[in-house]
Amino acid sequence: MTRTLAVANQKGGVAKTTTVASLGVALRELGRRVLLVDLDPQACLTFSLGIDPEDLDVSIHQVLVREREPSDVCVCTDEGVDLLPATIELAAAEAALLTRTGREHAVRRALDGFAADYDWVLLDCPPSLGLLTVGALSAADEVLIPLQCETLSHRGVGQLLDTVHDVRQFTNPRLGVLGLLPTLYDGRTKHAKAVLDTISETYDLAVLGPPIPKTIRFAEAPALGRSILGTSTSHRGAAAYREVAAGLDRAAQPSP
């Protein structure tokens, strides 16, 4: 059965894209069939997997506005995960969709049928609560919320949870919240530990683990067109993502 996970947080720089790429590759290593979907017009996920958006004639944009089928657009990446890539054109899709009825369902409709060939579909959301994020939440079984451990202010999470509530009410009643994933965690500082503690005290949500350590390797990987798992196999950041992926995958297996 396909599990569709939206990775969302309207704050930029919290490691949404890094999480999608790393969990995707880790799930692939576990032998799963994985589809990643770049729903951010900045196309960082596409770029970080070694595909230059400028070389693409078609992208998820054309699928969302019903000009192309996902199979026309899907690319295989070097790391074995499939990708529905984005280009800057995707910014126009949001505007084009705004006037259409059923616009919240555009992502779900785009994946309909096509996603069934995969065990996991991971949706990389843009840093906003606009139509593309709402579309992703409307298409997902669950949402995973990366949260950086650098600041004590996580007010944005409340807003995101309000959006989740609205999506449940209007478009996707079965949407679950998988939990929060602490990212950019520097375990050497008291501050980061304090932030981690407040996260679990503040929200009545699961906190997935282990926290993803903050290391310079993550900043280097995208420019190499590889995930952190592909650039440095034994790195502790890669190990953390592998552990999170193994936990997700175990939980997804039907109980005997």
How wide is the angle at C-alpha 192 spanned by C-alphas 130 and 149, nearest 5°? 10
DSSP secondary structure letters along 231-254: H-TT-HHHHHHHHHHHHHHHHHSP
Within a 10 A sphere around the Cβ of 231, how many other Cβ atoms?
Answer: 17
Residue placing its CB nearer to ligand ADP in the complex, 114 or 218: 218
Residues between 7 and 36 with contacts to Mg ion, criterion CB under 5 A: 16-17
User: CB neighbours of 146 closer than 8 A, spacing ≥ 6?
Assistant: 7, 9, 14, 15, 16, 19, 180, 181, 183
Near ligand ADP by CB under 6 A: residue from 5, 15, 136, 139:
15
Question: Interface with ligand ADP includes 46 (CB under 6 A)?
Answer: no
Q: Least distance to Mg ion from the beta carbon of 4, Å?
A: 18
Near ligand ADP by CB under 6 A: residue from 16, 32, 61, 242:
16
Q: By rule CB under 6 A, what string of x and - marks binding of each residue 232-251 to ligand ADP?
A: -----x--------------
For the chain, list the strands marked E by DSSP.
3-7, 34-38, 75-76, 82-84, 120-124, 142-148, 176-183
3-class SS of residue 75: strand
Q: Least distance to Mg ion from the beta carbon of 22, Å?
A: 12
* Whole-angstrom distance, CA of residue 181 vs CA of residue 212: 8
Q: Left if phi > 0, otherwise alpha if psi is -120 to 50, otherwise beta: which for 113?
A: left
Question: Interface with ligand ADP includes 18 (CB under 6 A)?
Answer: yes
Near ligand ADP by CB under 6 A: residue from 41, 53, 127, 182:
127
Question: Interface with ligand ADP includes 12 (CB under 6 A)?
Answer: yes
* Whole-angstrom distance, CA of residue 141 vs CA of residue 178: 9
Q: Least distance to Mg ion from the beta carbon of 127, Å?
A: 7
The candidate with the shortest Cα–Cα distance to 129, out of 19, 36, 8, is 8
With CB under 5 to 8 Å by kind, the binding choice for 212 among Mg ion, ligand ADP, none is ligand ADP
Q: By rule CB under 6 A, what string of x and - marks binding of each residue 63-102 to ligand ADP?
A: ----------------------------------------
Question: Interface with ligand ADP includes 28 (CB under 6 A)?
Answer: no
Number of residues that bind ligand ADP (CB under 6 A): 19
* Whole-angstrom distance, CA of residue 46 vs CA of residue 3: 21
Q: Least distance to ligand ADP from the beta carbon of 18, Å?
A: 3
Question: Interface with ligand ADP includes 215 (CB under 6 A)?
Answer: yes
The residues of the shown chain that bind ligand ADP, judged by CB under 6 A, are 12-18, 44, 127, 183-184, 212-215, 218-219, 222, 237
The residues of the shown chain that bind Mg ion, judged by CB under 5 A, are 16-17, 44
